[in-house]
Amino acid sequence: MTAINRSALVPYSAQEMSALVVDIESYPRFLPWCKGARILSQNAKETIACLDIAYQGIHKSFTTRNERKGQEAIEMYLVKGPFSHLHGIWEFRQLEDAASKISLSLEFAFSDKMLDVAFKPAFIGVANGLVDSFTKRAIDLYGSRE
């Protein structure tokens, strides 16, 4: 199993950053590897969504259940896709009036060895860039605050 942990201090509120992660249907606008994002079902506490990703010539889709834990966290569980295991958690911790720490912890394993060899490096690249991508999205939507 592969584990990735990334975090950043950002000049945006935890609520603003959480709103970006929850807005799944906007992912194709700012995540170049995300070719499609569909909400399959949604209620006040969770969203089930499917992402279509393409990275370095490899195309895959996967579905996750995303549980909102207030403004503080979003926990992601695999529903279906090319993984034997996929679990992640975004955490948003307010530090000051207009600053927060965002963190992403992600664990994954692919369902077969061939897929692991072919797609694991690409998925690591995607996962490693997520915190930076959401920080850049915040700048685009909320303006630079540094």
pLDDT of 59 > 90? The answer is no
Give this prediction's pTM: 0.90
User: pLDDT tens digits for 71-113?
Assistant: 899 999 999 999 999 999 999 999 987 899 999 999 999 998 8
Segment (H or E) for 5: strand 2-10
Q: Which residues pair with 76 in a beta bridge?
A: 66, 88
Backbone angles phi, psi at 142, to 5 degrees: -105, -10
Per-residue confidence (pLDDT) for residue 119, from 0 to 100: 80
Per-residue confidence (pLDDT) for residue 141, from 0 to 100: 95
The strand ranges marked E within 21-114 are: 34-42, 46-55, 58-69, 73-80, 83-96, 99-110
Per-residue confidence (pLDDT) for residue 118, from 0 to 100: 78
- Tokens standing for residue 103: 């963190």
Q: Which residues contact 76 (CB under 8 A, 6 or more apart)?
A: 64, 65, 66, 67, 86, 87, 88, 89, 90
Q: Which residues contact 3 (CB under 8 A, 6 or more apart)?
A: 105, 106, 107
Once rounded to an integer, what is the mean pLDDT over residues 57-64?
Answer: 90
Domains of the chain and CATH, by start: 2-142 (3.30.530.20)
